[in-house]
Amino acid sequence: MSTRLRDFTPSVDPAGARGTGPVRHQHPVYVTLTPPCAAACPAGEDIRGWLALAQAGRFREAWEVLTAENPMPAVHGRVCYHPCEDGCNRGAVDAPVSIHAVERFLGDMATAEGWAFKPIRPASGKRVLVVGAGPAGLSAAYHLARLGHAVEIREAGPVAGGMMHFGIPAYRMPRAELAADVARIEALGVTITLNHKVTDLAAEQAAGGFDAVFLAIGAGLGKRVEIPARDAAKVLDAVSLLRDTSAEAPPMLGRRVIVYGGGNTAMDAARTARRLGAAETIIVYRRDRAHMPAHGFEADEALEEGVKIRWLTTIREISGSEMQVERMELDAEGRPQPTGEIETLTADALVLALGQQTDSGFLSRVPGIGFTPDGTVIVGPDMMTGAPGIFAGGDMVPSQQSVTISTGHGKRAARQIDAWLRGVPLAETTPAPVVGFDMLHLPVYSDADRSAQDELAEAARMGGFQEIIAGLDAREATYEAARCYSCGDCYECDNCYAACPEQAIVKLGMGAGYRIDLTKCTGCASCFEQCPCHALEMVAEESADA
């Protein structure tokens, strides 16, 4: 998280002058503001920091800065929907920095080079139980272990990873890379017990002598919908389809498959059905593309692979292999309304992709834990449930659902648990203001196109679940990292030094930045206007911290 180098109050010269007269009305100060990429990152990564190290070829240091916040870069570089790139200021000039691709490169290099995590505090003597080895549980375990606590994970499934393993197809998340990220967390000292479903939390906590608990069981149950059916074709939920396929026990779907839903899971289910041999896969969704919950690129990739999508369509009734579907239309508020226009579709299998829910029933016996109507667990701002010492996060708490959001929850919960165990309040910091594109002083041209990642040819994709998008090599990763504008943080470009007419900018040496000599500064703002990344602010003389 970016912080100020010193306090400042952005302002303008009250007299409207630039400050070049005999009386100085304002002067510059160096600041560090928050870049929009970091502000948008659910895992709270210092993206600007590790990109700066990567562009200098200091890959190990870049990985260490990255993993101080997120222990699974090889995973997130592949499956995160990278909202950081949506916020990237470079997108207003040509194309956002391919942050996810550089992150993936660093994660894969860590595996290839055998880089290992290290604790940052000595052993505390405290023990923490984590229930669930998905992204939230693994993230919390990593951060707690680094903070000196003994951590054990209980996982109901046969493999760690949760929905990263059982809910994301291997063509997006290769299992070897996921396993390597998990193994690195285990090597830090985290114990993972598989095939161990926790059904009595109080007994589990007492037997293990755990001082605190983090619940991260995810949302692994597919939601159902009541559709009138007579002798229906095979009906299964998308979560089960993806889980069974990941377990190498895929169901027989037939040649024509209909997927009901419009989210990312629906896209994954449809693409998986194609790989399992379906000659035709059709997604049926009751709203239009503009209102679908799936990310646009997910739908694009599904269409590229031959999946068909029927927008504004809903299933009314199933009879054998026939499905009565109704065309919908959107009202003024964007809600789908029936039109009465019915047609018949046939399919060998129907896959329901209508969202996921949490199997949290076993927690109802724990005093103090509260639930929302849909079964998610209620937590406070400190991630603690109503039961003292029992925290929860990830898909099982009210929130948007994604791997990166869950990873961020795990980090936040770990820091809250650490503070609770130590009996001290967690020191919260207020981030510095975000640097918008209009605050930058950039050249009017662009000469650094975004790096392209090679993709597996469409014809080769249907032959299995091999990864379809390739990574960057060291040269490409260095180049892509160098496209970062370093928004809000000085990178010693010397523009301010060259622009100052009074030689009031003093260079302190490589890596040490600059100092303003106020005995020479006239407040003309030339340095501020020439700073490309907005690492300088002009502050009114009366409010400045001299």
415 and 321 in one domain? no
Sequence-distant (≥ 6) Cβ neighbours of residue 77 within 8 angstroms: 100, 101, 102, 103, 104, 105, 106, 107, 108, 471
Place of tokens 């990178």: 491
Coil, strand, or helix at residue 3?
Answer: coil
323, 351, 379 - which closes a domain: 351
Q: What is the pLDDT of residues 163-213, one digit of tens each?
A: 999 999 999 999 999 999 999 999 999 999 999 999 999 999 999 999 999
CATH number of the domain enclosing 87: 1.10.1060.10
Residue (of 248, 314, 313, 300) closest to 270 by Cα position? 300
Strand pairing of 127-131 and 150-154?
A: parallel
Helix, coil or strand: residue 217: coil
- Shared domain for 24 and 89, answered yes or no, is no
Q: Does residue 79 fall inside a structural domain?
A: yes
Claim to verify: residue 335 and residue 230 sit in the same structural domain: yes
pLDDT digit string (tens) for the chain, length 546 residues? 333 333 333 333 334 444 455 578 999 999 999 999 999 999 999 999 999 999 999 999 999 999 999 999 999 999 999 999 999 999 999 999 999 999 999 999 999 999 999 999 999 999 999 999 999 999 999 999 999 999 999 999 999 999 999 999 999 999 999 999 999 999 999 999 999 999 999 999 999 999 999 999 998 888 777 787 766 668 999 999 999 999 899 999 999 999 999 999 999 999 999 999 999 999 999 999 999 999 999 999 999 999 999 999 999 999 889 999 999 999 998 899 999 999 999 999 999 999 888 888 889 899 999 999 888 999 999 999 999 999 999 999 998 889 999 999 999 999 999 999 999 989 888 999 999 999 999 987 777 899 999 998 888 888 789 999 999 999 999 999 999 999 999 999 999 999 999 999 999 999 899 999 999 999 999 999 999 999 999 999 875 444
410 and 505 fall within a common domain = no
How much is the pLDDT for 22? Answer: 59
pLDDT at 459: 80
Q: Who's near 215: CB < 8 A, 6+ residues apart?
A: 131, 132, 201, 363, 377, 385, 390, 391, 392, 393, 396
Distance in angstroms (rounded) separating the CA atoms of residues 309 and 282? 6
Rounded (10°) CA dihedral 115, 116, 117, 119: -130
Q: What is the DSSP string of 161-212?
A: TTHHHHTS-TTTS-HHHHHHHHHHHHHTT-EEE-S---S-HHHHHHHHT-SE
Whether residue 309 is contained in a domain is answered as yes
> What is the span of the domain harbouring residue 291?
226-241+250-351
Residue 396: inside a domain: yes
Residue 506 lies in a domain: yes
Say how far apart CA 26 and CA 35 lie, in whole Å: 25
342 shares its domain with 278: yes
Look up the CATH number of the domain holding residue 333.
3.50.50.60
Q: Which two tokens stand for residue 231?
A: 């002798």
Give yes or no: residues 233 and 334 share one domain: yes
> Are 381 and 275 in the same domain?
no
- Look up the CATH number of the domain holding residue 507: 3.30.70
C-alpha to C-alpha distance for 65 and 102, rounded to whole angstroms? 13
Same domain? For 455 and 510 the reply is: no
Rounded Cα–Cα distance for residues 214 and 414 (Å):
8
Which pLDDT score, from 0 to 100, does residue 541 have? 87
Listed in order, strand segments (DSSP E) in 31-141 are 127-131
User: Is residue 296 located within the same domain as residue 312?
Assistant: yes
> Does some domain include residue 263?
yes
Q: Which amino acid is at 198?
A: V
150, containing H or E segment:
strand 150-154
231 plus 312 within the same structural domain: yes
- Distance separating alpha carbons of residues 133 and 163, to the nearest angstrom: 9
494 and 448 part of one domain: no
Specify whether 365 is located in the same domain as 344.
no
Q: What is the pTM of this model?
A: 0.91
Domains of the chain: total: 4
Nearest Cα neighbor of 403 from 80, 37, 39, 44 is: 80
Residue 110 CB-half CA count within 13 A: 32
In a domain, 120, yes or no: no
On whether residue 324 sits in a domain, the answer given is yes
The per-residue pLDDT for 334 is 87
Q: Look at residue 3 in the predicted model and tell me its pLDDT.
A: 36
- Give the tens place of pLDDT for each residue, 434-445: 999 999 999 877
Q: What pLDDT, on a 0 to 100 scale, did the predictor assign at position 13?
A: 39
Count of residues making up the chain? 546
Residue 196 maps to a domain: yes
Quote the CA–CA distance of 533 and 528 in Å, as a whole number.
10
SS3 per residue for 9-53: CCCCCCCCCCCCCCCCCEEEEECCCECHHHHHCCCCCCHHHHHHH
pLDDT at residue 543, rounded to an integer = 52
